[in-house]
Chain A
């Protein structure tokens, strides 16, 4: 297992209902981008930005319930990728009990809870091998694509109209 941290949360321009959580290796440069739903992305971002909310959001409630029921979170782990879906687990135990409890979760929920309860986030090696992104590759394609869209935009402008408004 490789420990990760939440590096950023990005808005997808392709769909307003999706956001991308970027997990970065603690001891390396690889990133794991995970598409999440907008409410879950907001739940992670809101907590990390330190914003205060007047009422507990759903993941705040989850964290409060875990606390009150004496759950001790060991870690969360993104442990599989099947049919383009990431799978995650929340690993915990009750109080001083040795017995481990594993909860099946979506990565977005696991991460939103992990950041609230300060527990480490891991990714299984085979998942990072398959879906991890090296920073160089990422920045090259990003630049190219961005420029492409900008070029299209520029060439769609009719600059000869520019003076006619006056």
Chain B
């Protein structure tokens, strides 16, 4: 398992989805995971220390785990099937037993940042789907420029003077 940290939560300009960037603690590799808007907010609100008047859903889950005498040992993104990432939440019960619970990565991460536990990614998943920063830097401006070019070419500049 590779230990990672939440490096960033990015907005996708095309839709309501967000991307959470999990960065390898010991290298520059990172794993981008698409997550929903509500879950992204749950992660960022906590990471930016934004005060909320009432407990959000993940705060409630963390409170419940604590009140029930359990702790979160770690979370791990452990599988990818049909373009969907899977994660597990590993809890230790008040009797000292370990429980592994199936979860979406977004929920697992939102819980992990609240309790301050480690976030891991399975070795194979990171090896196959992790990205190096150089690749990304090459791609992004090109794509952005592409969209901008498309936009420019749709403009009819001949009309500009006619008003």
Contact = CB atoms under 8 A, between A and B. Distances in A.
User: Are A and B physically bound partners?
Assistant: yes
Interface in A9-39: 37-39
Interface in A95-132: 101, 103-106, 109
B85 to A, nearest CB: 9
Interface residues of A, number: 29
B157 interface: no
Interface string A46-60: 000000001111110
B61 interface: yes
SS of B interface (majority):
mixed
Nearest to A38: B38
Interface size class of B (residues with CB under 8 A): 20 to 34
A112 to B, nearest CB: 8
Contacts of B101: 61, 64-65, 68
B110 to A, nearest CB: 8
Interface string B17-44: 0000000000000000000101100100
Central interface residue in A39, A59, A85, by most chain B CB within 10 Å: A39
Given A69-B70, A109-B60, A104 B55 contact: yes
Given A55-B84, A56-B104, A65-B101, A85 B53 contact: yes
Nearest to A39: B38
Nearest to A102: B67
A61 B55 contact: no
A42 B14 CA distance: 22
A58 B39 contact: yes
